[in-house]
Amino acid sequence: MTILRESAVAPAQQVARLADVTKTYPGGVHALRGVSVGFPRGTFTAVMGPSGSGKSTLLHCAAGLDRPTSGRVVLAGEDVSTLREPRLTMVRRAHVGFVFQAFNLVDALTVWDNVLLPQHLAGVRPDHAYARELLDRVGLGGRATSRPGQLSGGQKQRVALARALASRPDVIFGDEPTGALDLATGREVLGLLRRSVDELGATVVMVTHDAAAAARADRVVLLADGLLAGELHAPTADQVAARMTELTR
C-alpha cells in the first residue's frame, strides 16, 4: 500500500479534517491550539502524545462529539463545527463508527442486536448479510445470541468493532480501544482494525498510548501541549517509542 503524506492528500480525499482548531475549556485550559490535520480515506492513523497533550480532545472534535472553540471540522464533506442538534447527531450516525476502551455495549441486548443497534437508531434498514459477515470476520459468528455479560473483554471489543463497521461508516474513531485488554487480546483487536482498513477499505483514527499498537497504523500523528509535534509514516514501535521519549522530556 502506498501511504501519502497528509499534505499531499487533497481535502476531498480526507474523510475528516481539522482546520486551525482550538479548544479551550472553562478555567482557561487550552486542550488544542490551532491544530490542522486531515485523515485520508482508507488509511489507519494513530494519535499519540503525553498525558494532557490533547489526544482525546482532537478525537472528540474530529468525530463531532465535542465542539471546537474556533476553527473548522469537516466530516464526510460537511462542516460539523457549526452544526446544531439534531442534525449533528444525524451526521454522526450516518458517517461515524466508534470503538471505546469501555466497549459501550448494551448489556440487555444480544451480540446481534448490539451490532445492529446504530442502524436502528439511525432509522436505516440493517444489512443483515453484512452483519453476519462481520461477526464471522471477528470470530464471533457462533455467539450472535449471547449477551455481553457472557463474553470476555476481548470478545466484547470485537463486538464493538463489528458494530462500528456494520453501517459502513466513512470513519471509525477508536479511543484507547485496546487499553482495557491484555497484551495478546489487544494484538488480536489491532489485527482486526488493520484488516478492516486493508480488506474492507475502512478509515480508522485511533488514540493510543502504546507504541506497539501505533506501529500497526500507516501514520502516527503526534501531539504535545495541544500542538502538532510531527508525524511518523510507516512507523516502527522503536521509532514511536523514541519520539514519545523526546516529547516527555
Whether omega before 40 lies within 30 degrees of 0, making that bond cis, reads: no
- Res 12 pLDDT > 80: no
Q: In this predicted structure, what is the pLDDT of residue 249?
A: 80
Is 6 a member of any domain? no
Contact (CB, 8 A) for 161 and 189: yes
Give the pLDDT mean for 23-27: 94
Contact 117, 148 (CB under 8 A): no
CB neighbourhood size of 189 (10 A): 22
Domain-located, residue 76: yes
CATH code at 181? 3.40.50.300
Mean pLDDT of 109-128: 93
C-beta atoms surrounding 93 within 10 Å: 18
- Report the pLDDT value the prediction gives residue 248, as an integer from 0 to 100: 87
For residues 102-127, average pLDDT: 94
Q: Which domain holds residue 206?
A: 12-247
Number of domains the chain contains? 1
**Is residue 5 domain-resident?**
no
Is 159 within a domain? yes
pLDDT at 5 over 90: no
- Least confident residue range of 9-18, 65-74, 190-199: 9-18
Residue 158 inside a domain? The answer is yes
Whether residue 242 is contained in a domain is answered as yes
* Confidence label for 11 from pLDDT (cuts 50, 70 and 90): low
Query: Is 3 a member of any domain?
Result: no
pTM of the full structure: 0.92
pLDDT of 3 above 80: no
In a domain, 52, yes or no: yes
Contact, 191 vs 161, CB < 8 A? no
